[in-house]
Structure 1
Amino acid sequence: MTSHITGFTESRIKTNGITLSVHQAGQGVPLILLHGYPQNHMCWSRVAPELARHFHVIIPDLRGYGESDAPADDADHTTYSKRTMALDIIGLMDALGLNTAAVLGHDRGARVAYRLTLDHPERILKLGIIEIVPTGDFWAAWDANLAMKAYHWTFLAQPAPLPERMIGADPVGYIDWTLAAWTLGKSLAAFPAASLESYRKQALDPARIHAMCADYRAGATFDRTADEADRSAGRKITAPLRFLWAKSGFPAQTGHPADLWANWATDVSDSSCESGHFAMEENPQAVLDCFVPFFRYEA
């Protein structure tokens, strides 16, 4: 099938007990792009065609998002843990016959990406991170100001079905407000019409709203505990890590976000850009300038 991203095709691939919607184009080093909340594969639409000039670009919808399967959460919140979602990507790589790949993640996708790199270091060549710091570190950085900006971390993690019912009262309104509030311009102007339509469409599906909440429930429980266990064990990311953070985004609120990644990886470089949280759509050139050279020259 033809993808809504220019030059890409879509297929459905079974992995780890579910089926993912996957968009692909290009040749060369495999580069997996992982989106965040409350978005899907369309968040890469402004940068993916250029990336596909240099790499074999693979863009799945994470479980629960876009057109991928959206299983119900479990009592221990493992279904949407980043460890489980990382296994989805390992299964995708296996299905595509890829022993190794580079990975670039934004928001929740970046959390899947770094968990993937910690749990399966032999499979990941290089790691790109956009607009997050590690889960445990972000929780630890909370003060009143950050709590107000990142209120969704606690709201979405509340027991079901409270946030699902509240969002379900006006799902499109909630998604539009969230997207606009996290941009530098505080508007929806940065989002292409097709992308915005896809974000609104998934918000109208109660199963996907539940999945998004489950994603954050895992973040507050299983994912945070996994991070703490790795920190206690002294485990670090050994793949080269490139970190892009927005001057008006969430990591900037932690003070020195690159320093936090330096505690988690042996080889870290970083840069910042003029943007809100959604750098790929607000400042796509900054994303390309940061990551094309990093991923192009394979170590």
Structure 2
Amino acid sequence: MAIEGFTQSYVRTNGIQLSLHRAGTGPAMILLHGYPQNHHTWEKIAPALLQDFDVIVPDLRGYGDSHAPEGVAAYAKREMALDIIGVMDSLGMERAHILGHDRGARVTYRLALDHPDRVDRLGIIEIVPTGDFWAAWNADLALAAYHWTFLAQSAPLPERMILADGPGYVDWTLSKWTHRGNLGPFSEAALASYRAQGADPVRVAAMCNDYRAGATIDREIDQTSRATGQKIKAPLLFLWASNGFPARTGDPLGCWRDWAEDLTGVELEGTGHFAMEEVPEPVLEAVRAHFLPRRV
């Protein structure tokens, strides 16, 4: 199920096959989705970017129509960033803008840290770095972000519990993380796609492994980056909801200031975690202001 105006194709990269949706002309912009979603999360944003960018929307490994390798290490964000580098190489792209949400944002900042010469500008929506998020946990954040510990439990406990009613679990997760607490922001095509993932044992295992990697490998890599003073060199746009997950950490913009040399922050009102679906116009306004060349 492609985004309107986009064409689906497949690319071999880093030993696996990724599904891509692509359209538009101009500088390359790669959009990376989060959990429990896939390329559909960009369906309200991506078509509006086509007049200015060559827009590439992959399904991350384990999600959508992309391959889902086994094992926790396969979902380390350093490994997933190599998938995107491989996509760029396959498409002949020396550099690209990258915009990521949720798990895709974790791939985005890891790619920018590991491969700074491949990134022009980047955008992060609704996360703080993995190590910082774990360090910020208190009772309130633990209740809100319970899935971080639930999905990271050893297999097959979370898989079995989710698959008892995978589509229902996906619906509950999506609605609970919106500002209004319902499924209104999501199209029927998107919901059908997300529910199908929730009913697929292979996809559910992949999503759990994504979070297992976050609790172990990704956290340790972040700690090393912080200890060595590594910083993101590309201009960084950070978007966060006033009552979303990053906001609960206390000072999300200050957190990114510790990681980025050039930072712009925009706090979004009237949205939950899924800003691209809930308030697409303010997101588009901020994205255009950051990624489009400044006109003199």
Cα distance in 2, alignment partners of residues 270 and 174 from structure 1: 32
Return the match for 1:18 from 16, 22, 35: 16
Q: What one-letter code is carried by the residue in structure 2 that aligns with 1:173?
A: G
Which residue of structure 2 lines up, in the alignment, with residue 103 of structure 1? Answer: 98
How far apart are 1:298 and its partner, in Å?
7.0
TM-score normalized by the length of structure 1: 0.97
Structure 1 position 90 matched with structure 2 position 85: yes
Asked if 1:125 corresponds to 2:120, the answer is yes
**8 A Cα contact 2:32 2:99, kept in partner:** yes
Q: Structure 1, residues 98-127: CA drift from partner, whole Å, max 9, x if none? A: 000010000000000000000000000111
Of 215-224 and 247-256, deviating more is 247-256
2:267 aligned residue: 272
1:34 is aligned to: 32
2 CA distance for matches of 1:120 and 1:236?
Answer: 12
Structure 2 equivalent of residue 286 of structure 1: 282
Q: Which residue of 2 aligns with 1:167?
A: 162
Distance in 1 of aligned mates of 2:65 and 2:234 = 30
Deviations 1:68-89 (A, max 9, x none): 001111xxx3200000000000
Looking at structure 1, the residues matched to 134 and 150 of structure 2 have their Cα atoms a distance apart, in angstroms, of 14
CA distance in 2, matches of 1:51, 1:200: 27
Aligned to 2:228: 233
How far residue 203 of structure 1 moved from its aligned partner, in angstroms, is: 1.3
Tell me the residue number matched to 1:262.
257
Residue number in structure 1 paired with 2:74:
79
Q: Aligned-pair RMSD on alpha carbons? A: 1.0
Counterpart of 2:21, as a letter, is: H
State the alpha-carbon separation in 2 of the partners of residues 99 and 81 from structure 1: 23
Q: Per the alignment, in what secondary structure is the counterpart of residue 79 of structure 1?
A: helix
Give the conservation status (yes or no) of the 8 Å contact 2:18–2:67.
yes
Provide Cα deviations, 1:20-73, integer angstroms capped at 9, x if missing partner. 000001011100000000000000000100011210000000000000001111
Shift of residue 4, structure 1, vs aligned partner: 2.4
Matches within 5 A, 1:195-274: 195-274=190-269
Aligned identity (percent) is 61
- 1:239-285 deviation line (CA, Å, top 9, x unaligned): 00000001121001011100000000100010111210000000000
Provide the TM-score with structure 2 as the length reference: 0.98
Residues paired across the two proteins, number:
294
Q: Give matches, 1:140-179, under 5 Å.
A: 140-179=135-174
Please give the alpha-carbon distance, in whole angstroms, between the structure 2 residues aligned to 1:272 and 1:289: 13
Which stretches of structure 1, 4 residues or longer, exceed 6 Å deviation after superposition? none
The separation in 1 between residues aligned to 2:172 and 2:55, in whole angstroms, is 30
Contact kept in structure 1, 2:2 and 2:21, CA below 8 Å: no
**1:221 aligns to what SS in structure 2?**
helix
SS in 2 for 1:22: strand
Deviation (angstroms), 1:204: 1.3
Which consecutive unaligned segments of at least 5 residues does structure 2 have?
none
Q: Which amino acid aligns with 2:19?
A: S
